[in-house]
Structure 1
Amino acid sequence: MAIRQMMRRSLSSERRSAHVPKGHLAVYIGENEKRRFVIPLSYLNHSSFQELLSQAEEEFGFHHPMGGLTIPCREDLFNEVVSSLSR
């Protein structure tokens, strides 16, 4: 299954941004401009994804300015991590 099928990037519309399927989590990725991705909850258990969560904790603690989990990494790095998890 392709990474685009595993992960649905939301557009900015209000209707789509509010919908997160059961068993998934919305995260905001980026160093400057943030993009919203919807990922399976199972990714949270993988060590490579937990490294990204540690980065988020260091930078934001429990305050996430986007209103959801914000991970301060490059989008291409995030895509690499997610791609490796979907294999």
Structure 2
Amino acid sequence: MAISIPRVLQSSKKLLKSFSHSSNNIDVPKGHLAVYIGEKLQKKRFVVPVTYLNNSSFQNLLRKAEEEFGFHHSMGGLTIPCTEQIFIDLASRLNT
């Protein structure tokens, strides 16, 4: 049985949206971490599994965040300077 790539991407997007929150007051489940994704002033909060930290592509995003922000994050959490679409594409690959 073949798996349709668009269906996989769509289910990954739904999973990420279920972890996405607009409020900072929502608890982060055990085994997850909150990250803020976006460029400039518009940022969106995502809650992702800590297993993402082992992935080299995610580590590249973390290095980019370190270069841009150092250890100071104005939102109070980890901010990753990439577009939401780039992050969703990466997360969809990590969820398969």
In the other structure, the counterpart of 2:73 is: 64
Is 1:29 aligned to residue 37 of structure 2? yes
Q: Which runs of 4+ in 1 moved over 3 A?
A: none
What CA distance in whole angstroms lies between the structure 2 residues aligned with 1:61 and 1:18?
25
What CA distance in whole angstroms lies between the structure 2 residues aligned with 1:47 and 1:41?
13
In the other structure, the counterpart of 1:55 is: 64
Matched position secondary structure for 2:33: strand
In the other structure, the counterpart of 1:40 is: 49
Query: Residue deviations 1:7-58, cap 9 Å, x none?
Result: 510023x5xx331000000000000201000000000110010010011000
AA at the equivalent of 2:26: A
What CA distance in whole angstroms lies between the structure 1 residues aligned with 2:76 and 2:26?
12
What CA distance in whole angstroms lies between the structure 2 residues aligned with 1:40 and 1:9?
12
Matched position secondary structure for 2:51: helix
TM-score, L = length of structure 2: 0.81
In the other structure, the counterpart of 2:3 is: none
Look at both structures and tell me which one has the larger radius of gyration over its CA atoms. 2
Structure 1 segments unaligned to the other structure (5+ residues): none
What CA distance in whole angstroms lies between the structure 2 residues aligned with 1:18 and 1:59?
26
User: Percent same amino acid among aligned pairs?
Assistant: 57
Compute the displacement of 1:5 (Å): 2.1
AA at the equivalent of 1:67: G
TM-score, L = length of structure 1: 0.88
AA at the equivalent of 1:22: K
Compute the displacement of 1:84 (Å): 0.5
